[in-house]
Chain A
Amino acid sequence: MIANYGYKDGSGDFFISIDTNKCMECEEKPCMEACPAGILEKFADDYNDVVVGVKEEHRKKIKYSCAECKPASGKRNLACQAACKPDAIAHTW
């Protein structure tokens, strides 16, 4: 399953996509520790697969939560993606 967390508003699309089929194969989930803003959490989804998702409190402000890794200069250093061994995380912006 591709789970898209985030939102679309007048300023653009801000979604973090997690491929849960890949994510469930990774036991350590190092992306959670790697995220400097701590926006990721582990949980059992509706199909009882243990996967990572974006915490509820960050879903409507993800553009700002992720700002540390996405400075206005355009330099991108996505710690979550770098830590994700199965390559399950993608960002839309």
Chain B
Amino acid sequence: MKKFLTIALALLICISASADKKNKKATQAYKYEIEKIEAGAASNGVQAVYVQSYMNNIKNADQVCRRNAVHGVIFKGYSGRGDYHPALASDPTAQQDHKEFFDAFFADNGDYNKYVASTSASGPQYVKIKKIGYKVGLVVYVNVAALRRDLEKAGVIKGMSSMF
């Protein structure tokens, strides 16, 4: 009996540790800071944002930053010098509610790429941080107007006129 209890306890610890690792990985995937920058007049719905992403290694750093920029515009919102741009998804549970859609949207080479107009010519800037890995900064130009329009059409975010 004692042996059985020990095995069960060990199994439980293993399962819990694995779940924790999975969660940590998921959080790491969207660990970033986003702010608006004044990089020329934002015209035709394109906004320039500066994204600083935290990652373990710098493989695909450019792609992660692009994805985080689009993620930030949809779910986090960003502010500039005295102006604030709320998240496109006003509902905080939107990502969970439409998990299938957003998993595909943010997958490698997913549709999020369509809304990245360009990135800064100088490329990403890397800073090595102890224990965390790297902080990678990149200026990303996001076509916010097109992104909003398409997400509203897909029914995953609420538009201003959706309630009428």
The judgment on whether A and B are partners is no
Task: Tell me the A residues contacting B by CB distance below 8 Å.
Answer: none
